[in-house]
Amino acid sequence: RMRLVEPAFAYTIHKAQGCEADSVILLWPALPSTTDAFLYQENLNDGYEMRLLYTAITRAKGRLDLVTVKQSHHVEL
């Protein structure tokens, strides 16, 4: 029953620094709600988010799958 299962490794982005893999799946969080927007903006301003994303992307030697949440926006009229 388990013939198609292959072992895999899971790392945080920080733990993966200096490592490479043939295939990387990156789970990236959704954009913050308005209550968290101030903290998120601070992280963007100091470049933290961009450096973190760069580190994650450059771990992939061959394939990168980016997985994130699709947000729906509800507008009341």
Asked whether the whole model's pTM tops 0.85, one would answer no
Which stretches in the chain have pLDDT values below 50?
77
On whether the CB atoms of residues 4 and 43 are closer than 8 A, the answer is no
Residues 15-30: pLDDT tens digits?
877 888 898 888 887 7
On whether the CB atoms of residues 49 and 43 are closer than 8 A, the answer is yes
Which among 73, 66, 55 has a CA at the least distance from the CA of 29?
66
For residue 6, give the 3-state DSSP assignment.
coil
Query: CA angle, corner 36, sides to 33 and 41, nearest 5?
Result: 110
